[in-house]
Amino acid sequence: MTNFEKLTATLMQFFLELQVGLSLPLRRMLATLTACLLEGTPAHLTAMAEALPDIHIAQIAKEQRIRRVLSNPRLSPTQLLPVFIHILHPLLILLPELGLSLDRTCWKKRKRHITILMVSVAFRGRAIPLYWIVKDRAGNSSFPEWKQVLTPVIIHLQARPGLSTTPLIVVADREFVLPWSAEWLYTTYQVDSVLRLKRSTYLCDQDPSVQLADLLQYFPQGDTRGYHSIVQRSEIEWVRSRTHQRDRSQTHRHLIACDGVRPCALYQ
């Protein structure tokens, strides 16, 4: 038995022990594709088809076979999320806090728009995907879609032994800056959030209101300062500054870190 065959057999047994609920052919194909990736095969349809051990099958047939497997509704993020967390558990328990990155990517393929909204967990400078949804349209995502991808990840992480007490922080770009999203995260799951604001955003801690760029021009890039009782103008909720406990010392972090109750920190 070759090393590739041993790895495939080990992965099949691993998927069986996790009770993923996949049929034997689907489990075998998933284990084979995973083994190909672990051996350094590029995540490309042609390269993956060439790496399959079925040498007596035509290349086009192997590509079609991979397409059918990847389009199988049973290989959904909802089905595989517990598997991802189980695999990552030995690494995640080493972290003092878990950063969840909410991001969206969009491209046009064969005259069709493809938009992927994804939640990833940060580990040593890498974003590891945990959950995602795919839309066949262009444009920004909506608050209900943010809740759709964040909710299962937060629930599974908070229910996982060894991770339930680890603080969660959702990190999001300018597209996801809504005061009620930060409020929803904190009031529903007690999860803090770090939100990036546009430099043109109007803030007001005194009269008259000022732009965020007016504050950032006074300190160099990489510097961090905390501002309390800051309001984002024309919005319903307060955006306040917050401090975060890290390495047993109080430090301000990020551009806007809000939990809907406590204040936020600004960074350049």
User: For the chain, what percent of residues have pLDDT higher than 90?
Assistant: 29
181 within some domain: no
- Do residues 229 and 239 touch, judged by C-beta distance below 8 A? no
**Neighbour-count burial for 204-242, b at 16+ CB within 10 Å, e otherwise:** eeeeeeeebeebbeeeeeeeeebbeebbbeeeeebbbbb
> Could you tell me if 211 and 151 lie in one domain?
no
Residue 93 resides in a domain: yes
101: left (phi over 0), alpha (psi -120 to 50) or beta: beta
From the list 11, 13, 63, the residue with the least C-alpha distance to 39 is 11
Entry pTM: 0.74
Of 55-59, 80-84, 132-136, least confident by mean pLDDT is 55-59
Q: Is residue 183 in some structural domain?
A: no
Q: Calculate mean pLDDT across residues 189-210.
A: 73
Domain extent, residue 65, equals 3-70
